């Protein structure tokens, strides 16, 4: 079996509105699930303020240490929309008006087009536009960085196009076992299993008494379906029978 080198990913959320608690970030959970289903390991999420130097510094670090990077937010025409300038800065490239984007903006806004609307045609030199049938606006991408909007509905539509670029037919598999044990009781078993199944990621998640029917949920993630299944089976076997609740295939 040829094992492809795992791809990893990072997300940079640009958002004062998230840091001040005004809006809950829906884009990270969405992208996390999508990347998991594409077999891409999401390794890092940073939420930073609308500050050009911070965005540029964070993006430079993320893009040089990850295979794929997504930014979300800060791409409109107002004073707090600094992402494209910051992307250019992080690539040491100037920003210039894209004729292709200008034409799309003029076609959309017609006579109402303002100079501020046209600011949205500014792109880092070297960037490309990712087009799709079902999205009005293309996505700006440069090397391994996709520049996505903060509005969740638009981000999702745009991601459906990007997904096709990223899909290599890989995925992660995941199983969950729900138990009535507390973490202290199963820590030893889990420790053994991490040694027996080194390619898997095993997680243990306690719940508050009363908040769920189970006390601890144990998850087994990996790219080899048989391995994931064998680990979940081994755990159920080692668990005292009265502590076992149920086993679920997640993906």
Chain positions 228 to 247 lying near a second copy, rule: CB under 8 A, are none
Among 7, 16, 227, 245, binds a second copy (CB under 8 A): 16
Considering the complex, what minimum distance in angstroms separates the CB of residue 145 from a second copy?
18
Radius of gyration of the chain (CA): 22
Question: For residues 145 and 68, what is the distance between their CA atoms, to the nearest angstrom?
Answer: 6
Exactly one of 3, 22, 164, 241 binds a second copy (CB under 8 A); that residue is 22
Length of the chain: 251
**Interaction of residue 28 with a second copy, rule CB under 8 A:** yes
Q: Least CB distance from residue 168 to a second copy, whole Å? A: 18
Return the C-alpha torsion angle 179, 181, 187, 192, nearest 10.
-50
Q: Quick one: DSSP state of residue 243?
A: G
One character per residue 38-77, x = contact with a second copy (rule: CB under 8 A):
---xxxxxxxxxx-------------------------xx
Q: Which of 174, 181, 226 is nearest to 202 (CA)?
A: 174
Assess 172 for contact with a second copy (CB under 8 A).
Answer: yes
Residue nearer to a second copy on the CB measure, 128 or 191: 191
What crossing angle do the helices spanning 83-90 and 52-65 adopt, rounded to 10°? 50
Please report the sign of the dihedral spanned by the C-alpha atoms of residue 99, residue 104, residue 107, residue 111. Answer: negative
C-beta of 80 vs 224, nearer to a second copy: 80
Query: Nearest approach, Cβ of 39 to a second copy (angstroms)?
Result: 11
Helix (H) or strand (E) holding 47: strand 40-48
Dihedral over alpha carbons 51, 57, 60, 62 (to 10 degrees) = -80
Of positions 3, 79, 164, 241, contacts a second copy by CB under 8 A: 79
**Is 167 a binder of a second copy (CB under 8 A)?**
no
CA 71 from chain centre, in angstroms, equals 10
- For the bound state, the minimum distance from the C-beta of residue 47 to a second copy, rounded and expressed in Å, comes to 4
Interface residue with a second copy, options 116, 165, 167, 213 (CB under 8 A):
116
Q: Of 27, 139, 174, 179, which lies in the binding site for a second copy, with binding defined by CB under 8 A?
A: 174
Binding to a second copy (CB under 8 A) within 182-221 occurs at 183-188, 190-191, 194, 201-208, 211, 219, 221
Q: How far is the CB of 117 from a second copy (least distance, A)?
A: 4
List the end-to-end C-alpha distance of the chain, in Å, as a whole number.
22
Per rule CB under 8 A, count of chain residues that contact a second copy = 71
Contact between residue 186 and residue 211 where contact means Cβ atoms under 8 Å apart: no
Residues 6+ apart with CB under 8 A from 24: 18
From the CB of 194, what's the least distance to a second copy, in Å? 5
């Amino acid at each position: 079996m040829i094992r492809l080198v795992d791809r990893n990913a990072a997300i940079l959320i640009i958002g004062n509105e998230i840091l001040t608690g005004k809006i809950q970030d829906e884009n990270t959970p969405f992208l996390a699930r999508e990347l998991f289903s594409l077999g891409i390991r999401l390794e890092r999420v940073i939420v930073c303020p609308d500050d050009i130097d911070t965005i540029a510094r964070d993006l430079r670090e993320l893009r040089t240490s990850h295979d794929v990077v997504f930014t979300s937010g800060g791409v409109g025409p107002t004073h707090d929309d600094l992402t494209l300038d910051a992307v250019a800065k992080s690539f040491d490239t100037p920003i210039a008006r894209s004729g292709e984007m200008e034409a799309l903006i003029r076609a959309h806004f017609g006579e109402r087009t303002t100079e501020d609307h046209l600011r949205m045609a500014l792109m880092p030199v070297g960037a490309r536009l990712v087009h799709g049938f079902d999205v009005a606006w293309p996505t700006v991408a440069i090397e391994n960085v996709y520049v996505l909007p903060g509005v969740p509905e638009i981000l999702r539509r745009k991601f459906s196009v990007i997904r096709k670029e990223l899909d290599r037919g890989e995925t992660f598999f995941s199983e969950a076992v729900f138990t009535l044990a507390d973490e202290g009781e199963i820590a030893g078993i889990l420790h053994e299993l991490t040694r027996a199944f080194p390619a898997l990621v095993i997680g243990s998640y306690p719940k508050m008494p009363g908040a769920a029917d189970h006390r601890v949920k144990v998850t087994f993630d990996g790219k080899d379906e048989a391995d994931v299944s064998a680990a979940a089976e081994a755990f159920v076997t080692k668990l005292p029978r009265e502590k076992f609740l149920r086993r679920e295939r997640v993906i």
